[in-house]
Homo-oligomer: A and B are copies of this chain.
Amino acid sequence: MRFLVKAEVSLKRGHFDPEGDVASKSLRDLGFSVGTVRVSKAYTIEVDARDPTEAKALAEEMCRKLLANPTKDDFMVEVLVIEGRTA
Query: Which of the listed residues A27, A35, A39, A62 has the most CB atoms from chain B within 10 Å of its own CB?
Result: A27
> Closest B-chain residue to A48, C-beta based?
B33
- A47 to B79, alpha carbons, bound, how many Å? 29
A12 on the interface (CB 8 Å rule)? no
Main secondary structure of the interface of A (DSSP, over half): strand
A82 on the interface (CB 8 Å rule)? no
A-B contact pairs, 17 of them (CB 8 A): A10-B42, A23-B66, A23-B67, A24-B45, A26-B66, A30-B62, A34-B46, A34-B47, A34-B62, A35-B46, A35-B47, A35-B48, A37-B44, A38-B43, A38-B44, A40-B41, A40-B44
